[in-house]
Amino acid sequence: MNRRELFKTISATAFVSGFSGIARAQVATPTASPRQVLSLDKGWRFHEGDIPMPLLVTHQETYEAAKAGKGPGAADVKYDDSAWPRVTLPHDFAIAQPFDKNANVDQAYRPRGVAWYRNTLLFTQADHGRHIELQLDGMATFATVWFNGTLVDRNWSGYQSAYIDLTPYAYYDKPNQLAIRVDATAMEGWWYEGAGLYRHAWIVKRDPVHIVTDGVFAHPVKTGDTWTIPVEVTLNNSGDKTAQVTVTSELRDAGGKALATVRAQAACDPLGQGVVNMTLPISFTPDLWSPETPVIYSVATRIEQGGRVLDEVTTPCGFRTTRWDADQGFFLNDRHVKIKGVCLHQDHAGVGTAIPENVIDYRLKRLKTLGCNAIRFSHNAQNTYLMHACDRMGFLVMAENRNFDASPDYIAQLQWLVRRDRNHPSIYLWSVFNEEPMQATEQGYEMVRRMSAAVKALDATRPVTAAMNGGLDAAISVAEAVDVVGINYQQDKYDLFHKAHPDKPMFSSEDTSAFMTRGEYKSDQDKHIMASYDDEAAPWGETQRDAWQAVVERPFVGGQFVWTGLDYHGEPSPFTWPSNSSYFGILDLCGFDKAAAFIHRAQWIDDTPQLGLVPHWNWQAGNKVRVMACTNADEVELFVNGQSAGRQKGDRLRMNYWTLDYAPGFIEARAYKGGKLVAKARNETTGKAVALRLTPDLDALTANGRDAAPVKVEAIDAKGRNVPLAQDRVTFAIEGGTIIGLGNGDPTCLEPEKGSQRSLFNGLAQVIVQAGATAGALTLTASADGLKPASVAIKLNPGCFTAPWRAPGEIADQATA
Q: Which residues are catalytic?
A: 435, 510
Report the alpha-carbon distance of residue 271 to residue 159 in Å, rounded.
29
Query: What SS3 class is residue 526?
Result: helix
DSSP readout, 569-636?
A: BS--TT--TT--B-S--SB-TTS-B-HHHHHHHHHH--SS--EEEES-S---TT-EEEEEEEESSSEE
Q: How far is CA 518 from CA 231, 350, 487, 545, 546, in A?
A: 48, 18, 28, 17, 20
* Nearest by Cα to 159 from 513, 391, 399: 399
Q: Decide the pairing of beta strands 656-661 and 666-673.
A: unpaired
Find all residues with CB under 8 Å of 559, minimum gap 6, and list them: 329, 330, 337, 338, 339, 340, 341, 374, 507, 508, 551
Q: How many CB atoms lie within 10 A of CB 254?
A: 10
Cis peptide upstream of residue 615 (ω within 30 degrees of 0): yes
Question: At a CB cut-off of 8 Å and minimum separation 6, what does 155 contact?
Answer: 136, 139, 142, 143, 144, 145, 162
Asked if residues 757 and 730 have their Cβ atoms less than 8 Å apart, the reply is: yes
The values of phi and psi at residue 362, to 5°, are -60, -45
Are 459 and 418 in contact by the 8 Å Cβ rule? The answer is: yes
Write the DSSP symbol of residue 699: S
The continuous run of DSSP H or E covering 252 comes out as strand 243-252
Determine contact, residues 450/415, Cβ cutoff 8 Å: no
Distance from first CA to last CA of the chain, Å, rounded? 53
Distance CA 69, CA 72 (A): 9
State whether the Cα torsion 544-550-553-557 is positive or negative.
negative
The tally of CA atoms less than 13 A away on the side-chain side of residue 103 is 23
DSSP string across 627-660: EEEEESSSEEEEEETTEEEEEEE--TTT-EEEEE
- How far is residue 56's CA from residue 251's CA, in Å, rounded to a whole number? 58
Q: What angle do CA 715, 569, 341 make, to 5 degrees?
A: 90
Alpha-carbon distance of 448 to 313, in angstroms, equals 33
| Residue 235, phi then psi, degrees to nearest 5 | -105, 155
C-alpha–C-alpha distance, residues 523 and 529, integer Å: 5
- Cα-Cα-Cα-Cα dihedral sign, residues 364, 365, 370, 371: positive
**Residue 444 to residues 36, 263, 342, 414, 433, Cα–Cα distance (Å):** 44, 43, 26, 16, 11
Peptide bond into 88 cis (omega under 30): no
The C-alpha angle 236, 169, 134, rounded to 5 degrees, equals: 60
